[in-house]
A = this chain, B = another copy of it.
Amino acid sequence: MRKKSGILEVARQAGVSSASVSRALSGHPAVSENMKARVLAAAADLGFHPNQMAQGLRRGRSTTVGLLVGDIEQGVYASLTKEIQAALETLGLDLLLYNLGHSHDRLKNILARSDSLQLHGIIIAASDTLSNDNLAVLSQKAAEQHFPILAIGLSLHGQGIPSIVYDDSEAVMRSVSHLIATRGPGIAYLGRIGGSASGTKRFSGYKAALAAHGIQIDQRLVWDAAFRYRAGHDSVERALDAGLAFRAIQAGSDELALGAMAALNARGLRIPEDVAIVGIGNIESSAYSSPSLTTHGAAPEAIAGLVAERLQKWQSNAPEIITLSRPFIRRASA
């Protein structure tokens, strides 16, 4: 039942100086085998864990990485968070989670506090377009090089921040082309367009596919809606109430697609016979809807791996932009 085993206790027990304890424990090269063994034994014996506040103060850097996610209740962010936490854990880093929830002020506050928290790094995973304010702060922080900043899902390449994004435009272009090929024209787009970085890209894929097939865009079939279930559901109801005809829907997220499916089912429309539907994200439940949802996959584990690498050797981080390809996952809905 020790009380406050600090580095001094370990030093005393091992009969060495606190400097040596520090070096032995932190893997400093110039430490004799004998010294290392004695220190390790003493540390283990006392159940010593270095005080991270003290380490952080001295080193000018904590071991916590701030992860700013757009919306933890969305499946893709939950999966990403899980994988990133696991990856950080293997690096001995802790995850400070902030849910942005589409609030620019929140992001601003967090960025302001990042200095005082002595963050080890910041990962920003969001789909919303950021405000100019925040973009300016981010690019300044990136230039200062105090700690690595990484973007996921949106490109902050213009701010000098390494970014990992999906080929959303190409992915949607592929699936919409598939829909056109199998259903003809009358393909609706459902999803946030303005204000969303990824939304803009996805919608551009839709436009490109229509253009490639010589189809004119019908604005009544473009439903700009937020990312969650209700938005998908309500958009479809509204379209149906308006008497609009459509043979397929490309949704900007699986949640939107699933919400849309609920509305279609409720109106007695058959999927995919009457209306085919494609999502994006491959959230866990998309494989268990009725019918199962055709969608574009994600790669949270791969992203977590890339993040971990860049967190380790960040001094040499080029402001690269890595584009991941989304696998097209064909299931029953389209």
* Interface residues of A, Cβ cutoff 8 Å to B: 47, 49-54, 56-57, 62, 64, 72-73, 75, 78-79, 81-82, 85-86, 89, 94-99, 101, 106, 112-113, 115-118, 228-230, 232-233, 255, 258-259, 261-262, 265-266, 284-285, 287-290, 292
Across the interface, do A53 and B64 meet the contact criterion of CB distance under 8 Å? no
Across the interface, do A284 and B228 meet the contact criterion of CB distance under 8 Å? yes
8 closest Cβ pairs, A-B complex: A49-B116, A53-B56, A265-B290, A262-B288, A53-B57, A97-B97, A229-B288, A78-B78
Q: Report the bound CA distance from A73 to B49 in whole Å.
A: 31
A96-B96 CB under 8 A given contacts A57-B54, A73-B75, A289-B289: yes
Q: Report the bound CA distance from A261 to B176 in whole Å.
A: 29
Across the interface, do B233 and A259 meet the contact criterion of CB distance under 8 Å? no
Q: Which residues of B contact A64 (CB under 8 A)?
A: 64, 96
Extra A-B contacts (11), CB below 8 Å, given A51-B118, A85-B99: A51-B116, A53-B53, A53-B62, A82-B99, A82-B101, A86-B99, A95-B97, A229-B284, A255-B284, A262-B289, A262-B290
Copies of this chain, complex-wide, total 2
Across the interface, do B285 and A229 meet the contact criterion of CB distance under 8 Å? yes
Q: Which residues of B contact A75 (CB under 8 A)?
A: 73
Q: Which residues of B contact A116 (CB under 8 A)?
A: 49-52
A96-B94 CB under 8 A given contacts A52-B118, A290-B262: yes
- Residue of B whose beta carbon sits closest to that of A116: B49
Q: Which residues of B contact A85 (CB under 8 A)?
A: 72, 97-99
Specify the main secondary structure of chain A where it touches its partner: helix
Q: Which residues of B contact A86 (CB under 8 A)?
A: 99, 101
* A288 CB contact (under 8 Å) in B62, B118, B259: B259
A36 to chain B, nearest CB (A): 20
Q: Report the bound CA distance from A150 to B115 in whole Å.
A: 29
A97-B73 CB under 8 A given contacts A56-B53, A288-B258: no
A159 to chain B, nearest CB (A): 18
Across the interface, do B78 and A82 meet the contact criterion of CB distance under 8 Å? no
Q: Which residues of B contact A228 (CB under 8 A)?
A: 284
Q: Which residues of B contact A73 (CB under 8 A)?
A: 75, 78-79, 82, 284
Q: Which residues of B contact A56 (CB under 8 A)?
A: 53, 56
Q: Report the bound CA distance from A255 to B289 in whole Å.
A: 11
Q: List 28 A-B contacts (CB under 8 A).
A: A47-B112, A49-B113, A51-B57, A51-B118, A53-B53, A53-B57, A54-B57, A72-B72, A72-B78, A72-B81, A72-B85, A73-B75, A73-B284, A81-B99, A85-B98, A89-B106, A94-B117, A95-B97, A228-B284, A255-B285, A259-B288, A261-B290, A262-B287, A262-B288, A262-B289, A262-B292, A265-B290, A289-B290
Q: Report the bound CA distance from A95 to B96 in whole Å.
A: 5
Q: Which residues of B contact A292 (CB under 8 A)?
A: 262
* A97 CB contact (under 8 Å) in B81, B117, B288: B81
A229-B72 CB under 8 A given contacts A64-B64, A95-B96, A112-B49: no
Q: Report the bound CA distance from A188 to B284 in whole Å.
A: 24
Across the interface, do A98 and B95 meet the contact criterion of CB distance under 8 Å? yes
